[in-house]
Amino acid sequence: MDGQPTPTDKLAPLCPSSERLFLAILQYARMWEHFGVTALRTASMTETTADMTTSNPVWPSQPCLSSAGATEPATVPLPKGTPACPSVASDATSVPRTDSLSLRPSERLQALRVIADEVRQCTQCAELASTRTQTVFGVGNPQARVCFFGEAPGADEDQQGEPFVGRAGQLLDRIIEACGMKRQDVYILNVLKCRPPGNRNPSRDESAACRHFFERQLTTIQPEYIVCLGAIAATTLLQSNLTIGQLRGSFHDWQGIKVLATYHPAYLLRNPPAKKDVWQDMKILLADMGLPIPEQKG
Ligand code: SF4
């Protein structure tokens, strides 16, 4: 965040009590609007079936790269007793789904700014807090229809303060563009906001500790779709013990949001043949979004 200012950096922070008052006022002032949005979201939850008969990787091949997030296929069991939303942070700063549905763009930015400020000061994971260059909150359109959800910052992200800016991030950009969208159209975030040393996988405790941050990001943005990039992102969000291979290919639900799991771009850099599988997943996404599926380019 410090090295790469995002729109959320342009807004002044709120203290926890002010945020609580801010959200309470919004909840009452937008009650009717909230009901309207909820009805629209419910009406749009009809899934369509995508054409899964052809392979269609439309982004160029890249050589192998060692990076965080390339652990597919894998099962990431959850620690016993992990709560759905660990109460690490004060309840006063939580942004429940029902409050954020009706937030206007500027208000979503303000809410994200509050969370980003908390993240910047967080030292919940002692090792990560002591080794990080900076926290990596998230970037993109706070009104995005789609959030891409990875596992943790790598070295490039730790230096630049923005998720998915290394070679895996460049591949993600090409995937997004292959879908007919741009990076700035979507929102990109990770499970962890701090880089695990050596790009190791996030520990169970670290994922649990950071959970309330990404949940609040997602419930503030309220995307229609969350695309989980990799096994860790998918199993952490969905609190599932299934493998990424088992989770791929169909939509799952997280708090009323459609969730699609696919392989992490870093895994694709090491295993280019898996690109066709990711493209199949993107076709499912595009079909459900009602967007055209671009022609195969190569
Ligand atoms: S990974 Fe998340 S919970 Fe852990 S120190 Fe960083 S911001 Fe805090």
pLDDT tens, residue by residue, 178-222: 999 999 999 999 999 999 999 999 999 999 999 999 999 999 999
The DSSP bridge partners found for residue 260 are 227
Band of pLDDT at residue 63, cut at 50, 70 and 90 = very low
Q: Is residue 58 part of a domain?
A: no
Q: Is residue 52 part of a domain?
A: no
Q: Is residue 281 part of a domain?
A: yes
Mean predicted confidence (pLDDT) in 6-27: 46
Query: Atom 3 (ligand 1): residue with closest C-alpha?
Result: 210
Name the residue among 191, 195, 188, 131 with its Cα closest to residue 6.
188
Give the model confidence (pLDDT) of 141-177 as tens digits.
999 999 999 999 999 999 999 999 999 999 999 999 9
Give the model confidence (pLDDT) of 68-114 as tens digits.
444 454 433 333 333 332 222 222 233 334 445 678 888 999 999 99
Mean predicted confidence (pLDDT) in 33-45: 35
Identify the pLDDT of residue 18.
Answer: 52
User: Ligand 1 center to residue 211 CA distance, Å?
Assistant: 9
Q: Is residue 144 part of a domain?
A: yes
Query: What's the CA gap between 277 and 260, in Å, rounded?
Result: 13
3-class DSSP assignment, residue 259: strand
Q: What is the CATH number of the domain that holds 71?
A: 3.40.470.10
Query: What's the CA gap between 152 and 67, in Å, rounded?
Result: 10
Name the residue among 291, 261, 295 with its Cα closest to residue 278.
261
Q: Is residue 189 part of a domain?
A: yes
Domain coverage including residue 26 = 7-45+65-289
Going by their DSSP bridges, the two strands 146-150 and 139-140 should be labelled as unpaired
Q: Of ligand 1's atoms, which has the minimum distance to the CA of residue 209? A: 3
* Ligand 1 in reach of 208 Cβ (< 6 A): no
Mean predicted confidence (pLDDT) in 35-55: 32
Q: Is residue 295 part of a domain?
A: no
The terminus-to-terminus CA distance of the chain in angstroms comes to 36
* Ligand 1 in reach of 129 Cβ (< 6 A): yes
* Ligand 1 in reach of 25 Cβ (< 6 A): no
Band of pLDDT at residue 295, cut at 50, 70 and 90 = confident
Alpha-helical (H) ranges within the chain are 16-29, 31-43, 97-100, 105-121, 126-131, 155-160, 167-178, 204-221, 231-238, 244-247, 265-270, 275-289
Predicted TM-score (pTM) of the model is 0.72
* Ligand 1 in reach of 194 Cβ (< 6 A): yes
- Provide the domain count of the chain: 1
Q: Is residue 172 part of a domain?
A: yes
Identify the pLDDT of residue 297.
Answer: 56
